[in-house]
């Protein structure tokens, strides 16, 4: 595709996603797809699903989890939210609502419906951060029998294109205390890989 053709394709796909109502009957808060991408984004962050705050603002990772994820990656808010550099693609694009123990799982319809189409428009030499178990089981199916801790600790075995991370919710604080190797062994190479993907020197 030419640059102009790609720009048209990106704009068209964004419009399609924004108008999606496939899961409307299952969303108590109604559909509001929250996703950002462009044809030049060399860093992809695949998360879980928007929470209530993100549903209200329409801004991906606009919550405490986002602050923690930015700290892990070493990205400032301006870079993190620059769609020309970073694609923010959840497994479920809309807020799924709450259940007995917190937010419901991301809707299963989104990834098969949209992910391949979005990724086809992104650079081939991209780095993808897989944040949480849902993203990891989808993109690293061979690891389904592994625990999230095992996937994260063995992150380099998944190749240079993928880095698995825990979900940066408030629960991750306790996980990090039990896993001190995450801060010493995982975060430094993660930040280096993120800088390299964005050509930040």
Q: List the domains of the chain with CATH numbers.
A: 3-198 (3.40.470.10)
> What predicted TM-score, i.e. pTM, was given to this entire model?
0.95
Q: What is the pLDDT of residues 154-184, one digit of tens each?
A: 887 887 899 999 999 888 888 999 999 999 9
Across the strands, what pairs with 102?
A: 99
Q: What is the pLDDT of residues 95-135, one digit of tens each?
A: 999 988 788 999 999 999 999 999 999 999 999 999 999 99
How does the average pLDDT of the chain come out, rounded?
94
**Average pLDDT for residues 36-51, to the nearest whole number?**
97
| Alpha-carbon distance values, 40 to 61, 107, 123 (Å) | 20, 27, 6
What is the CA 117 to chain-centroid distance, rounded? 16
Model pLDDT, residue 101: 77
């Amino acid at each position: 595709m030419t640059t102009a053709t790609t720009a048209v394709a990106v704009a068209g796909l964004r419009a399609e996603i924004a108008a999606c109502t496939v899961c409307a009957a299952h969303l108590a808060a109604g559909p509001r797809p929250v996703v950002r991408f462009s044809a030049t984004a060399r860093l992809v962050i695949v998360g879980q699903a928007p929470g209530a705050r993100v549903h209200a603002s329409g801004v991906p990772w606009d919550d405490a989890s986002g602050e923690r994820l930015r700290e892990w990656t070493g990205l400032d808010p301006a870079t993190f939210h620059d769609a020309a550099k970073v694609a923010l693609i959840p497994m479920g694009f809309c807020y799924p609502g709450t259940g007995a123990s917190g937010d419901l799982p991301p809707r299963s319809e989104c990834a098969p419906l949209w992910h391949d189409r979005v990724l086809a428009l992104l650079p081939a030499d991209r780095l993808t951060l897989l944040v949480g178990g849902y993203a990891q089981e989808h993109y690293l199916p061979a690891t389904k029998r592994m625990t999230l801790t095992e996937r994260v600790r063995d992150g380099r075995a998944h190749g240079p294109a993928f880095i698995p991370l825990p979900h940066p919710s408030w629960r991750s604080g306790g996980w990090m205390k039990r896993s001190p190797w995450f801060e010493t062994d995982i975060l430094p190479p993660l930040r280096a890989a993120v800088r390299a993907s964005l050509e930040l020197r």
